[in-house]
A = this chain, B = another copy of it.
Amino acid sequence: MRIAIDAMGGDNAPQAIVEGTLDAARAYSDVTLILVGDEAQIKKYVGANPPPNIEFVHTTEVIEAEDEPVKAVRRKKDSSMVVAARMVKAGQADGMVSAGNTGALMTAGLLLVGRIKGIERPALASIWPTMTGGSMLTLDVGANMDAEANHLYQYALMANAYAQIVLEREKPRIGLLNIGAEPGKGDKLRKEAYPLLEAGPFHFVGNIEARETLNGKCDVLVADGFTGNNMLKLIEGFGLGIFGELKKVFLKNALTKLAAAVLKPGLAAFKNKFDYAEYGGAPLLGIDGAVIKAHGSSNARAFRMAIHQARAFLKGDVLGKIRTDLSGEGEETS
B235 and A212: CB pair below 8 A?
no
Chain B residues with CB below 8 A from A196, complex form: none
A226 and B179: CB pair below 8 A?
yes
Chain B residues with CB below 8 A from A252, complex form: 266
Chain B residues with CB below 8 A from A245, complex form: 131, 270
User: Chain A 164-196, CB within 8 Å of chain B: the 1/0 string?
Assistant: 000000000000010100000011101000000
A177 and B230: CB pair below 8 A?
yes
Q: How far is the CA of A231 from the CA of B234 in the complex (A)?
A: 8
Q: Is A48 an interface residue (CB 8 A)?
A: no
Interface residues of A (CB under 8 A from B): 131, 142, 145-146, 177, 179, 186-188, 190, 209-215, 225-227, 229-242, 244-246, 248-250, 252, 255-256, 258-260, 262-263, 266-267, 270
Known pairs A215-B237, A250-B263 / 10 extra A-B pairs, C-beta < 8 Å = A146-B188, A186-B226, A210-B229, A210-B234, A213-B237, A231-B231, A239-B242, A245-B270, A259-B260, A259-B262
**Can you pick out 22 interface pairs between chain A and chain B where the beta carbons lie within 8 Å of each other?**
A131-B245, A145-B179, A145-B186, A145-B187, A146-B188, A177-B230, A179-B225, A209-B233, A210-B230, A210-B231, A210-B232, A211-B234, A215-B241, A227-B230, A242-B242, A246-B267, A249-B266, A249-B270, A256-B263, A259-B262, A259-B263, A263-B263
